[in-house]
A and B are shown apart, each in its own frame.
Chain A
């Protein structure tokens, strides 16, 4: 399967197989007008299988979102057909308005204007907790 290379845009590579769609959703890429390709289960020497997202436009990417979904992913900035920058990602310490707290007992369930903020509570297990109620993100 061939996907054209891009001249100016962003390639999110080394996404753990299966997480591409979640990243697509949380980055809100469905709202873009440009061409976006999600390639799933690409053969990878290092990872076995991986997902790749190609975006045919130079748009700002939230590294916090990428780091939350898959800290092993890389973000490549392509300019004039060449790799201009390659970002390795770390898990963010705080996530603001990336995911919503689903605990019906949390204050965010009744006060709509509050930011939904999660903090990394356990880096080893990638656990984020709501700062208000400490519920685990899921």
Chain B
């Protein structure tokens, strides 16, 4: 059974196909409004989420399908000690496809090995978040016209930021991309992502702690939040949480067609004054996420029906 656990589970051809489906959905929504009639999406969210869960639910409703599920672990049998494997087997009896978020890394993979229906990883701890990456990729595609010929800066928590790791993985398969890694020393991109992804794929990259110095060369700026929930030590979080705050004055040397992205939610790392700047693309990302999830649900259900 085909599932989506890691963005690399999708070939670049499949990502292209999903993007084209998403754009077709944007242009002709009525064509898709009944495609999932009679189908059920189970949203199994063991960890709080606003955007991802509602995006999946909106996606399924707009395809004409229905949604069942829970939005916190306490309202599921996991609170009684049920394993992820048993939950996946059980839900397979009720639904046609699963979207799972779990605080433990690898939980959706365990679910996919035990479910008889497709499982979509909707975020597993600090590990993977492939559908956010799909939203990011559609945003890049729509804003830049394709993948290549640009410099992308990743800023903030590059150590625990799962969206950063996934997007770097996805972009590393394309040509003519430069990467600038902007973070405090303590939150630098893990060494294995640099060696196994960037170096292995010959992607030129540089590391810096200085956002303003890097700004003029960027075509895309991907901001991230320093996530409280990823720290075991509150003191470390408090010390690092305000490392980078994007304000209008920091954009004075930025390109006119810079694309400012953020996986959201933001705390204070992007000033609300930026929201009205035409270069701000983070709410476009939210919308693009819904379209890509619609395209993904269609693709996985189609393959499951074969």
Interface residues of A (CB under 8 A from B): 103, 105-111, 113-114, 121-122, 127, 129-134, 136
- A107 and B196 contacting across the interface, CB-CB below 8 Å: no
In the complex formed, the residue of B with least CB distance to A127 is B192
> Is B90's beta carbon under 8 Å from chain A?
no
- B106 and A131 contacting across the interface, CB-CB below 8 Å: yes
A-B complex: 8 closest residue pairs judged by Cβ atoms? A132-B106, A133-B105, A107-B104, A107-B106, A107-B107, A133-B106, A105-B125, A105-B105
- B192 and A106 contacting across the interface, CB-CB below 8 Å: no
In the complex, which residues 53-91 of chain B have their Cβ closer than 8 Å to any Cβ of chain A? 83-85
> Is B109's beta carbon under 8 Å from chain A?
yes
- B104 and A105 contacting across the interface, CB-CB below 8 Å: yes
How far apart sit A129 and B193, CA to CA, in the bound complex (Å)?
13
State whether A109 and B109 are in contact (beta carbons under 8 Å apart), knowing that A121-B196, A122-B196, A136-B192 are contacts in the complex: no
How far apart sit A122 and B104, CA to CA, in the bound complex (Å)?
24
User: Could you give 25 example pairs across A and B, Cβ below 8 Å?
Assistant: A103-B105, A105-B103, A105-B125, A105-B127, A106-B104, A106-B106, A107-B84, A107-B102, A107-B106, A107-B107, A107-B109, A107-B110, A108-B106, A110-B104, A111-B110, A114-B110, A121-B196, A122-B195, A122-B196, A131-B106, A132-B109, A132-B110, A133-B106, A133-B127, A134-B105
Total A-B pairs, Cβ < 8 A? 50
- A106 and B110 contacting across the interface, CB-CB below 8 Å: no
Task: List chain B residues, Cβ under 8 A from A103.
Answer: 105
Task: List chain A residues, Cβ under 8 A from B102.
Answer: 107
- A107 and B192 contacting across the interface, CB-CB below 8 Å: no
Task: List chain A residues, Cβ under 8 A from B196.
Answer: 121-122
State whether A105 and B110 are in contact (beta carbons under 8 Å apart), knowing that A111-B84, A113-B83, A122-B196 are contacts in the complex: no
How far apart sit A107 and B113, CA to CA, in the bound complex (Å)?
14
In the complex, which residues 83-140 of chain B have their Cβ closer than 8 Å to any Cβ of chain A? 83-85, 102-107, 109-110, 124-127
Task: List chain A residues, Cβ under 8 A from B195.
Answer: 122
In the complex formed, the residue of A with least CB distance to B125 is A105
How far apart sit A106 and B105, CA to CA, in the bound complex (Å)?
5
Closest CB in chain B relative to A20 CB, distance in Å: 29
Task: List chain B residues, Cβ under 8 A from A111.
Answer: 83-85, 110
Identify 16 new A-B residue pairs, CB closer than 8 A, beyond the known A106-B105, A131-B109, A132-B110.
A105-B125, A105-B126, A107-B105, A107-B109, A107-B110, A110-B104, A111-B84, A111-B110, A114-B85, A114-B110, A121-B196, A122-B195, A127-B192, A132-B106, A132-B109, A133-B127
